[in-house]
Amino acid sequence: MTLYSSPDCALSHCARLVLHEKGVTCNVEYFDINEPPEELLELNPNGSSPTLIERNLVLYDSRIIMEYLDERFPHPPLHQMDPVSRANARMLIKRIDQDWYQLYDEILNSGEKKAARAKKMLRESLIAAAPIFDAQDYFMSDEYSLIDCALAPLLWRLGSIGIEIPSLGKGITAYSNRVFSRNAFQNSLSPAEKQLMDSV
3-state secondary structure of 73: coil
φ and ψ at residue 25, rounded to 5 degrees = -80, 115
Residues that are catalytic: 9
- Beta sheet of 51-54, edge-to-edge order: 27-30, 2-5, 51-54, 57-59
Residues 6+ apart with CB under 8 A from 186: 180
Long-range contacts of 32-35 (CB under 8 A, 24+ apart): 32/6, 33/6, 33/9
φ and ψ at residue 14, rounded to 5 degrees = -55, -45
CB 91 within 8 A of CB 140: no
3-state secondary structure of 7: coil
